[in-house]
Amino acid sequence: MNWRKVRTFLFTVLALCLIPATRYYQVDEPLLRFLRGSLHVDPLSLHLSGEFVENNLGTELHADGSVTVRMIAEQYLFVPHCILVPAGVPINLRITSADAVHSLSFEGTEYAVKTLPGTISKAELMFSKAGKYKTVCREFCGPGHYAMRSELKVVPRDQFPALRPEERGNCAAQ
Ligand SMILES: [Cu+2]
């Protein structure tokens, strides 16, 4: 038996296995959720029905003080373009994509949320300090990818506007 050939073969198999293994949490996790059927959403009718209709996007303040943020990522912007959230409050982010795979990240933080058309990505975020965070797409999604950025504005909790149940917070209202 030619040990050198066997060794080369085994190394090749190992290397090929390692590539998907390192990408698993980035790509396959939303894909698996999608295949499991939970958190499924139709990317073609986001603006027509369901939780991602336009007047449901942005920051929603619940009676218990918790916050839900709903967003859509699409080539080449995040909707809403500017989001307002209170500091020091856990934020439930729910985001989906209308077209390609994107990744919403907040500069200066570890947060990065991959979005995939057809599935809702969920994340728990918290911003302890007030300030502005640039939000950028970290997944190459086409020629306009590098212009895909928006903003998150964190304001002290007591300065966060008291929203009526049907209202959504965004920077334009500031
Ligand atoms: Cu992108």
Q: Is pLDDT above 90 for 92?
A: yes
Q: Dihedral sign, CA of 5, 11, 17, 19?
A: negative
In the reported structure, the alpha carbon of residue 141 is separated from the centroid of ligand 1 by a whole-number distance in angstroms of 4
The span from the CA of 20 to the CA of 41, in Å, is: 26
DSSP string, 3-63: HHHHHHHHHHHHHHHHHHHHHIIIIIHHHHHHHHTTTB--GGGTTTSSTTSGGG-EEEE-T
In the reported structure, the alpha carbon of residue 124 is separated from the centroid of ligand 1 by a whole-number distance in angstroms of 21
Domain of 48: which CATH number? Answer: 2.60.40.420
In the reported structure, the alpha carbon of residue 9 is separated from the centroid of ligand 1 by a whole-number distance in angstroms of 37
Confidence of residue 118 (pLDDT cuts 50, 70, 90): confident
Amino acid 92 reads N
Q: Is pLDDT above 70 for 30?
A: no
State mean pLDDT over 100-129: 91
- Are both 48 and 21 inside the same structural domain? no
Q: Which domain holds residue 22?
A: 1-38
- Are both 62 and 3 inside the same structural domain? no
Position 11 scores a pLDDT of: 93
Single pTM value for the model: 0.76
Confidence of residue 25 (pLDDT cuts 50, 70, 90): low
- Are both 10 and 61 inside the same structural domain? no
- Are both 31 and 49 inside the same structural domain? no
Position 112 scores a pLDDT of: 92
- Are both 26 and 94 inside the same structural domain? no
Of 65 and 11, which is predicted with more confidence? 11
In the reported structure, the alpha carbon of residue 115 is separated from the centroid of ligand 1 by a whole-number distance in angstroms of 10
Q: Whose structure tokens read 């970290």?
A: 138
Tally the domains of the chain. 2
The span from the CA of 60 to the CA of 90, in Å, is: 12
